[in-house]
Amino acid sequence: MVYEAVIGLEIHVQLSCTSKMFCDCPNRPGDDPNTNICPICLWLPGAVPRFSLETLEKATLACLALNCDIQSRSAFDQKVYYYPDLPKGFQLSQHHMPLSRGGWIDIIDENGKPKNLRLHHAHMEEDVAKLVHETEGRTPISLVDFNRAGTPLIEIVTEPDMRSPHDAMAFLKVLRTQLRYTGCAECSMDQGTMRCDANISLRPHGSDQLNTKVEVKNMNSIQHVGNAIAYEIKRQTESLKNNEPIVLHTRLWDPEKRITTAMRAKFEGPCVPDPAVTHILITDEWQQNMASKLPEMPQQKVKRFVRQYGLTHDEAAQMSSERELSEYFEAVVKLGASPRTVANWIATQLLPAMKEYGHEFATTPVTARRFSGLIMMLEKNEINSNSARSVLTKLFQTAQSPEEIVDQFGFRQVSDTGMLRGIVDQVVSDNMSAVENYKNGNKKSIGFLVGQAMKLSQGKADPKRLQEIIREKLA
Ligand SMILES: [Zn+2]
């Protein structure tokens, strides 16, 4: 029998709010342990939560970016369970009346075709405290850090529309881009600001039944999500072939061994309406106001970049993949460099160099002005692309302008015909066998001769001009 996988995801995203969800403590979980705390987020008996408007605004923007229907009334429930990271015994979450329902994301599937993946709903919930496991002498101890307690999250729950590891990974990438564009969330899986659980079940290909699913947790990169799903599909296929029943449970992904291991029976505690936090009522007017705060989203930007700058679809998609990148691209183009050269140089030279030097767009010393200066010198043939690459490296190391670097290090391209002829004469007399080959019809030899001439010019000659002169001379 051929099985198909049915995959749904639950994604927790930390909202980048300045304060926690129900108190005014700073939302900075990384500070020294237990410094951002108060009676409310220590969950002391009698403390009354006060819901923050900032959480609602950012959660709403995030939902709008995912095409969700914002509900005019939503409410918090107490999701009841006890664990040392939740000493009050319940988590405030929206179980019965979530902030939004529906929504969708478009991905490109394995066959290159667009595929629409639906969301079931998205809701707000508070994060729990963080447990830190250490040893004191030989005694294992667990410490609780409440800096994270009560920080704002949204949980996004998809419909089980995904069929492969590829679908799930593509979904997460688009989701991350959409949410990052809004500025509401950082969505970094390795930093833990985006966490994903996957529900996976199998069914005979073509059937529409939903079978018992297994939940997999503990993946801290998008690639791990793909690997864990692939492993789980294989494991469940073998179980079914051996007539072993699939039971509902939770498994952990082990990235070292690249397997999933059984953790516990899946636990669902009761959810009861919370009496302290008032219902959230959203008017159309307020929602429209939030929608007007959404920036131009990636799909619109791609279309505009194609139309306005003549980029190919792939170039436009690449330049729109991050908001900061797209803004940098446009800033460089506005200073006069031609869009396709800029897109090409950002993708193939600037981004790798930024990675090498450990810079983001916010911190890069290669500002839009300096980068556009470099690209325009290249376009005016004042330097060749070899030299431009060297100048780019120097832009990371010095504060000089590209023009100053070119002058100081003698990168200016040699296009002076007399000088180039001198170089060609030298190369031709030094490489008679290559010249003979060329004259005997081996036209590839010209590449070798141009290379030798470039070397002699210390990389500064205009390679096109050199080739013309060599052809003339050997004609
Ligand atoms: Zn607090």
| Closest by Cα among 38, 48, 31 to 130 | 31
Q: Measured in angstroms, how far is the CA atom of residue 127 from the centroid of ligand 1?
A: 12
Q: Please compute the mean of the pLDDT values over residues 408-418 and round it to a whole number.
A: 83
Q: Please compute the mean of the pLDDT values over residues 421-431 and round it to a whole number.
A: 90
Model pLDDT for residues 182-210, shown as the tens digit of each residue:
999 999 999 999 999 999 999 998 888 88
The residue ranking higher by pLDDT, 268 or 68, is 68
> Which residues, including other chains, have CB under 8 Å from residue 371's CB and lie 6 or more apart?
332, 337, 342, 345, 346, 350, 395
Question: Distance (Å, rounded) from C-alpha 244 to C-alpha 182?
Answer: 46
Q: Measured in angstroms, how far is the CA atom of residue 277 from the centroid of ligand 1?
A: 15
Q: Measured in angstroms, how far is the CA atom of residue 23 from the centroid of ligand 1?
A: 5
Q: Is 80 exceeded by the pLDDT of residue 264?
A: no
66 close to 98: Cβ distance less than 8 angstroms: no
Could you tell me which CATH number the domain at 417-474 has? 1.10.10.410
Q: Measured in angstroms, how far is the CA atom of residue 175 from the centroid of ligand 1?
A: 30
Q: Measured in angstroms, how far is the CA atom of residue 39 from the centroid of ligand 1?
A: 6
Q: Measured in angstroms, how far is the CA atom of residue 9 from the centroid of ligand 1?
A: 30
- Give residue 266's pLDDT band: very low, low, confident or very high (50, 70, 90): low
Q: Is 80 exceeded by the pLDDT of residue 228?
A: yes
Tokens representing residue 161 in the block:
């529309």
C-alpha torsion sign, points 30, 31, 33, 37: negative
| pTM of the predicted structure, to 2 decimals | 0.82
Q: Please compute the mean of the pLDDT values over residues 427-436 and round it to a whole number.
A: 89
pLDDT, mean over the chain: 93
Q: Please compute the mean of the pLDDT values over residues 168-178 and round it to a whole number.
A: 96
Model pLDDT for residues 329-377, shown as the tens digit of each residue:
999 999 999 999 999 999 999 999 999 999 999 899 999 999 999 999 9
Question: CATH 1.10.10.410: which residues of the chain?
Answer: 417-474
Residue in the block written with tokens 């919930």: 125
3-class SS string, 353-381:
HHHHHCCCCCCCCCCHHHHHHHHHHHHCC
